[in-house]
Amino acid sequence: MRIILASGSPRRKELLQLVVPKFEIIVSKVAEKLLEGITVEEQVTNLAYKKAISVFSQTDGNRIVIGADTIVVKNGKIYGKPKDKKQAKEFIKELLEGDKEHYIITGVSILMHKDGQTKEYNTYDKVKVYLKDISDEEIESWIETGNAMDKAAAYGIQNEFCVFVEKIEGNYTTAVGLPTHKVYDIIIKNMGV
């Protein structure tokens, strides 16, 4: 059975290797456009599905296609990837306001075609993140690493920024970008791979 990850994220690649050792990567070219009038959980699941179905429709035969998307949200505001260093700093400062808490939500869509039948699983997982106090100098230093620019809300929990995370409630792999516990259950248990 072909297993395809519809993402070019090195983090998702590393996490999927923990679940299945062999898979291919076909990067989805789907624009990450948010829809009006749906919840954040529906947004992230919808984006994951769009990525998966895009690659699924380009391929054939028995296969499993995995799409994922991650959104950071605080007080109803969705944080995407920053467009520049100034916005990266603004994002982090906003995450530090008030209780210093926010959520990371990762949606997963897994599409399987086997012997003429197609199955579809769409779900998400949510993690609550608590940040520590971070000085302006520390924020600047973090942004200067260059690692803030390709991540939602201008940070990644899996790299140098981890020193500013007080704790998380939920699955660490969800915060990184692929909830391995859910992927395992769907692929191994539900799909029998």
**Residues annotated as catalytic (active site), given as ranges:** 69
- For residues 105 and 68, what is the distance between their CA atoms, to the nearest angstrom? 10
Strand partners, 87: none
Encoded tokens for 11: 């983090």
In this structure, what token pair is assigned to residue 100?
């210093």
| Residue type at 188 in one-letter notation | I
- Backbone φ, ψ for residue 161 (5° rounding): -65, -15
d(CA 28, CA 52): 7
